[in-house]
């Protein structure tokens, strides 16, 4: 019996008791993965904090998305201090992938693409201001 992606997602959510009121009508695998990860983070904040603490010190990637000035600062770091920029990205990838592994999603791997990270936010190609294709 072949199941749709939505049926598989619902089965995973049911087996992991992930019933969080956030809508997702996405047919994009990246968006589905990020949606699933965000649900896990909301459901198990203590375990997520433990994972984040175990990853170690370093700058918080997500803090750069708090406002446009911080986001521009991160974008400029890519050219002014590429080592620093990529350490921030790789730390976030390690965190996200460790979360997925911890909760049994070993077939998923997240890799942040710096070329797409800033495209919609700064190029005004998308009117809703969302950052896509992380």
Write down the residue that tokens 């890519």 correspond to: 78
Taking residue 62's Cβ as centre, other Cβ atoms within 10 Å add up to 9
Evaluate whether residue 94 is within a structural domain.
yes
Evaluate whether residue 58 is within a structural domain.
yes
Enclosing domain of residue 115:
5-123
Taking residue 49's Cβ as centre, other Cβ atoms within 10 Å add up to 11
Query: Do residues 100 and 38 lie in contact, with contact meaning Cβ atoms separated by under 8 Å?
Result: no
Counting Cα atoms < 13 Å in the Cβ hemisphere of 7 gives 4
Evaluate whether residue 129 is within a structural domain.
no
Q: What is the pLDDT along the chain (134 residues), one digit of tens a residue?
A: 555 656 666 666 666 665 444 344 444 677 777 788 888 888 888 998 898 888 877 778 888 888 889 889 999 999 999 999 999 999 999 998 999 888 888 888 888 888 888 765 444 434 444 434 44
Residue 59 dihedral angles phi and psi, to the nearest 5°: -70, 145
Evaluate whether residue 49 is within a structural domain.
yes
Evaluate whether residue 132 is within a structural domain.
no
The total number of structural domains that make up the chain: 1
Write down the residue that tokens 């974008």 correspond to: 75
Question: What is residue 17's predicted lDDT score, i.e. its pLDDT?
Answer: 60
Question: What is residue 127's predicted lDDT score, i.e. its pLDDT?
Answer: 40
Taking residue 21's Cβ as centre, other Cβ atoms within 10 Å add up to 5
Evaluate whether residue 25 is within a structural domain.
yes
Sign of the alpha-carbon torsion through 113, 20, 64, 55: negative
Counting Cα atoms < 13 Å in the Cβ hemisphere of 14 gives 6
């Amino acid at each position: 019996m072949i199941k749709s992606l939505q049926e598989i997602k619902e089965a995973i959510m049911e087996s992991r008791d992930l019933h969080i009121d956030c809508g997702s009508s996405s047919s994009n695998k990246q968006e589905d993965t990020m949606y699933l990860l965000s649900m896990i983070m909301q459901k198990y904040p203590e375990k997520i904090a433990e994972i984040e603490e175990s990853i170690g010190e370093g700058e918080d990637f997500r803090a750069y998305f708090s406002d446009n000035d911080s986001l521009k600062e991160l974008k400029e770091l890519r050219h002014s201090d590429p080592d620093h920029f990529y350490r921030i990205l790789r730390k976030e990838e390690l965190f996200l992938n460790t979360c997925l592994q911890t909760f049994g999603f070993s077939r998923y791997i997240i890799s942040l693409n710096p070329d797409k990270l800033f495209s919609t936010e700064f190029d005004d190609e998308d009117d809703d201001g969302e950052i896509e294709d992380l």
